[in-house]
Structure 1
């Protein structure tokens, strides 16, 4: 049983990597796509923003609607749609076709990811659930930060089409592994829509959503401009910037592994410590970001904390509404995407107003408000547990 569960978690990890790789890997291809379709880079950027918007919109809806269907069938459906979308993107004749080929799979993105977290958690004991989820998050991190340079390299070294084939190949691998090695996963106790929607009546759910938006905004409000920071403040070459971004990605995966242990053994302490730890990194970055070695060290630590933070955000939502895991994970994905969008926008405002070095202020303010939200959330969580006894 343990080996079967481990194999299932590995397949889920590959699946979320393929989906996040499709979402984020396109970032490194935008200049090539703009040239291919003879449009501006900003127009090509709709391939990123429209995808994120579709995820945010469908996050609270489709995981709820499809929550009663056999999990294996849903996994195959989502992965199959992503494979088809990738194939259409390879042969797309214009930007509009490419956009449609991304938005349709994007609507199913929250379905697979919320399901992956739920299935991973359910495959082990309640105490071991954070560790299982943290392993799936490795695929999320790899897709977000490693897919970009890989796709960029393939497009530069071979062609844009080969880079797009890479997206399709990963999703096809996950589809084949799911079809061949994952057993049927029927929903043993189907929850009514009303039961799942009832978690929206809880103040604990809403304060957790606010905390996730603020904490994810604190990370991505600064990370979104890391490449620009490294170029304009640290004065690094393009190749060195790529190396530092890889460093962040590797550290992110380490953070995912560490998060499983932290949330299993010291959840509440870790939640309170996170804003202080990341805040300290941002303050040091502000004063030493112009120096290469300190910047590299801080980026590594920052990457670890970002990986831990992603797991903490998912834990915040799931521990608030364990009675409706699929719907709760959908809400988590929507809140996380809103955090990225709002954080990046606020970070951009600070850069426009004061300059690139001051983007860390946006992160620090988001962390401050996030700490307040965590304190309030923990108070509500304690009260809820006392009432349940």
Structure 2
């Protein structure tokens, strides 16, 4: 794989004054992005929808223990803290597996690989539902992390291969909407199923959904041969691209800052706004709905203006998180800040993915793998550091940490090297 740190502009492209970014048109040294398969538009969007269903399912599977910790802990005879490790394990394994799956897969057809990974996710959740003791649950959650990292590393950059270029932004937003929709619908639905039929039934249903998605992928996705073999040296070589390193740094800061604060939002709202359990649930629902809206809003702006999109996102996250301890003393004020926070964070995934894809158009799969690895690693680190701060200084203090990291992301976004936005082809 070529060195992407010093690309040569195409004679037909016009470099921007502030970034000097590589062109998005093919050059003599880069591989032109493959066009979307020639299928009917309905078939193309059905393929995008089934990939979105996969992201929804893997995020739901990852977060499912959140609403089931107490009964899980009792049944498996461990503390709630130990049961909470099922999330940490999944995140860490996903962070490690995301860069490795494309390397191991080589030239294996990506449609078949996605189907296989969803089948692994189904098996993992069914094993979770059966787990007679905690050690079996840990093994099952390792499998969930493996499947999650693999699915995300492939799905994150898949839109460009499924729809025409003019629709890539919308398709990417739809694929990433699985994150927000899982938070709003998937996790609460799992909790509700667990209340009705026991926590094991929630895992069993999630396993069945994963299996259905695997079948739907086999039917609806076109053949997706590997664009080129991904090598360890090629993945590592992306770190020589300053746009990639800038993008990964701002992802690490934003995601770590978000999860440092958001993981402990319930005690913060109880302490700052005096919210009870019902009000907290309502506030988080408002946050989730705003996140869905923010995801699609960022999908429309990021392709043309990746730096501006992530700068606004970082600034809004920083402002809303920092203001919660200051003016979030009522449920109404907290609700307003959470809506801003949710809308801004909803744009992080699609905005950052667009940044990285535009920074290395000849190595999209490798860039996606790094993105997913950094993203999941930052979740684990942010939650861990946030917990230490909460224990040491109380719940509101974690908002200052989250806000400071978001400010750092804003600085990196404005000062670092950014990719050029995609121009809309004329006549489209």
Who is 1:81 aligned against?
120
- Of the candidates 341, 352, 362, which is equivalent to residue 323 of structure 1? 362
Q: In structure 2, the residue corresponding to 1:315 is in which secondary structure?
A: helix
Q: 1:160 to 1:108 in 2, by over 3 A?
A: closer
Report the Cα distance in structure 2 between the residues aligned to 1:379 and 1:212, rounded to whole angstroms: 13
Who is 2:251 aligned against?
212
TM-score scaled to structure 1, two decimals? 0.92
Who is 2:412 aligned against?
373
- Contact persistence 2:45–2:163 (CA under 8 A): no
Q: CA deviation at 1:190?
A: 4.3
Q: CA deviation at 1:312?
A: 1.8
Q: CA deviation at 1:69?
A: 1.1
Q: Answer yes or no: is 1:46 the counterpart of 2:88.
A: no
Report the Cα distance in structure 1 between the residues aligned to 2:397 and 2:232, rounded to whole angstroms: 45
Q: 1:123 to 1:350 in 2, by over 3 A?
A: same
Who is 1:155 aligned against?
194
Q: In structure 2, the residue corresponding to 1:264 is in which secondary structure?
A: coil
Structure with more of its chain in helix, by fraction = 1
Q: Which runs of 5+ in 2 are unaligned?
A: 1-39, 422-428
Q: In structure 1, the residue corresponding to 2:68 is in which secondary structure?
A: helix
Report the Cα distance in structure 1 between the residues aligned to 2:205 and 2:289, rounded to whole angstroms: 20
Who is 2:144 aligned against?
105
Q: CA deviation at 1:191?
A: 5.2
TM-score scaled to structure 2, two decimals? 0.84
Report the Cα distance in structure 2 between the residues aligned to 1:350 and 1:171, rounded to whole angstroms: 37
Q: Answer yes or no: is 1:313 the counterpart of 2:355.
A: no
Q: Answer yes or no: is 1:171 the counterpart of 2:235.
A: no
Q: Which runs of 5+ in 1 are unaligned?
A: 383-389
- Of the candidates 132, 138, 142, which is equivalent to residue 181 of structure 2? 142
- Contact persistence 1:149–1:242 (CA under 8 A): no
Report the Cα distance in structure 2 between the residues aligned to 1:16 and 1:184, rounded to whole angstroms: 19
Write out per-residue CA displacement over residues 265-323 of structure 1, whole angstroms, 9 at most, x where no aligned residue: 43322222222222221233222222011111221221111101222222232222222
Correspondence 1:235-314 to 2 at 5 A:
235-314=274-353
Q: CA deviation at 1:207?
A: 2.6
- Contact persistence 1:62–1:111 (CA under 8 A): yes
Q: 1:194 to 1:356 in 2, by over 3 A?
A: closer
Q: 1:376 to 1:7 in 2, by over 3 A?
A: same
Q: CA deviation at 1:185?
A: 2.1
Report the Cα distance in structure 2 between the residues aligned to 1:260 and 1:48, rounded to whole angstroms: 28
Report the Cα distance in structure 2 between the residues aligned to 1:284 and 1:47, rounded to whole angstroms: 32
Report the Cα distance in structure 2 between the residues aligned to 1:118 and 1:67, rounded to whole angstroms: 17
Q: In structure 1, the residue corresponding to 2:397 is in which secondary structure?
A: helix
Q: In structure 2, the residue corresponding to 1:378 is in which secondary structure?
A: coil
Q: Would you say how many aligned residue pairs link Structure 1 and Structure 2?
A: 382
Report the Cα distance in structure 1 between the residues aligned to 2:103 and 2:361, rounded to whole angstroms: 14
Q: Answer yes or no: is 1:357 the counterpart of 2:402.
A: no
- Contact persistence 2:243–2:359 (CA under 8 A): yes
Q: CA deviation at 1:10?
A: 0.4
Q: In structure 2, the residue corresponding to 1:326 is in which secondary structure?
A: helix
Who is 2:372 aligned against?
333
Q: 1:290 to 1:94 in 2, by over 3 A?
A: same
Q: In structure 1, the residue corresponding to 2:157 is in which secondary structure?
A: helix
Report the Cα distance in structure 2 between the residues aligned to 1:16 and 1:380, rounded to whole angstroms: 26
Report the Cα distance in structure 2 between the residues aligned to 1:132 and 1:276, rounded to whole angstroms: 25
Q: CA deviation at 1:100?
A: 0.5
Q: 1:380 to 1:177 in 2, by over 3 A?
A: closer
- Contact persistence 1:25–1:144 (CA under 8 A): no
- Contact persistence 1:127–1:264 (CA under 8 A): no
| Farther-moved stretch of structure 1 (151-160 vs 46-55) | 151-160
Who is 1:385 aligned against?
none
- Contact persistence 2:112–2:218 (CA under 8 A): no
Report the Cα distance in structure 1 between the residues aligned to 2:306 and 2:191, rounded to whole angstroms: 37
- Contact persistence 1:13–1:140 (CA under 8 A): no
Q: 1:183 to 1:318 in 2, by over 3 A?
A: closer
- Contact persistence 1:214–1:370 (CA under 8 A): yes
Q: CA deviation at 1:70?
A: 0.6
- Contact persistence 2:59–2:179 (CA under 8 A): yes
